[in-house]
Amino acid sequence: MSRTVPTASEFVRIEIEASVATIRIDRPKMNPLSIEVQDALGEAARLVSADDEVAAVVLYGGEKVFAAGADIKEMQRMSYTDMVQRAAVIQECFSAVARIPKPVVAAIEGYALGAGNELALCADFRVAAEDAKLGQPEILLGVIPGAGGTQRLARLVGPSRAKDLVFTGRQIDAAEAREMGMVDEVVPSGQAYARALEMVQRYVHGPAFALRAAKEAIDRGLDNDLETGLAIEAMQFAGVFATKDREIGMTSFVKEGPGKASFEGR
């Protein structure tokens, strides 16, 4: 049975079905990520993180556009001091999405530009329609990415490619994004959401705490040196030995061989 979880904004809602939560942006016409929407995305991330029914998450902006960027008219009115106060909040909202302790896939149709692309970068995986357009065009407005674009993009595709996109503000198509590693799969137009749902199904009945531990070890490890990353991995590896799923998985392997365990998510 499906259910909808409202957020503080009418433009962001959570739809949960079969243990998969879709965080849906729906702000006509191009899903501009206003302050209201940014805050609601952070709220949605915290809600799905805390919901034990949710095993995986899809970020989706609809059939026509993922999100074409921040609300420029709103930003135009903001002063330096306004943005000093707001910039950290924007980043925290997006980081809440990146920290969802469950597998997250962004389903990209149409434009994913500026803050829209930065939101997609917060996912673990990205699937894009073949006619999608991605990029960080902030430089064309005389500013730079401010919701993680200079950091997450460089970590994903390397500093030279990130600098090319950030310095020029150019838009790239899904094929180029796939070639440089910004997106993981390219599908026919209109199929991104269906493919994202298909991708997350493999995690629905998985060992939830092991998946959580793996995500945290990888993400936190990448932000540190190798020695620190290995220490994080060791801690997470030892921690999952306290879970019921570890007992189920190893018992099943010994008795029946690999890949036959029925995990309980605890």
Q: How confident is the model at residue 2 (pLDDT cuts 50, 70, 90)?
A: confident
Q: Residue 251 is encoded by which pair of tokens?
A: 């018992």
Percent above pLDDT 90 for the chain: 94
Q: Could you give the percent of the chain with pLDDT greater than 70?
A: 100
Annotation says 63 is catalytic = no
Which of 40, 14, 29, 99 has its CA nearest to residue 64?
Answer: 29
Question: Span 208-256: which CATH code?
Answer: 1.10.12.10
Residue located via tokens 């006619």: 131
Identify the active-site residue in 10, 17, 74, 118: 118
Res 225 pLDDT > 80: yes
The four Cα atoms 163, 165, 170, 172 give a dihedral, to 10 degrees, of: 150
Beta bridge mates, 123:
none
The number of C-alpha atoms within 13 Å of 205 and in the hemisphere containing its C-beta is 7
Catalytic residue among 17, 74, 92, 138: 138
- pLDDT for 100 equals 98
Write down the mean pLDDT value for the chain: 96
One CATH from 3.30.1360.30, 3.90.226.10, 2.40.50.140, 2.130.10.30 for 3-204: 3.90.226.10
Report the alpha-carbon distance of residue 34 to residue 104 in Å, rounded: 22
Strands ordered across the beta sheet of 20-25: 3-6, 12-17, 20-25, 56-60, 104-108, 125-129, 185-187
End-to-end CA distance of the chain: 22
pLDDT at 90: 94
pLDDT digits (tens, 9 = 90+) for 21-30: 999 999 999 9
Q: What is the pTM of this model?
A: 0.95
Is residue 198 among the annotated active site residues?
no
Give the tens place of pLDDT for each residue, 46-75: 999 999 999 999 999 999 999 999 899 999
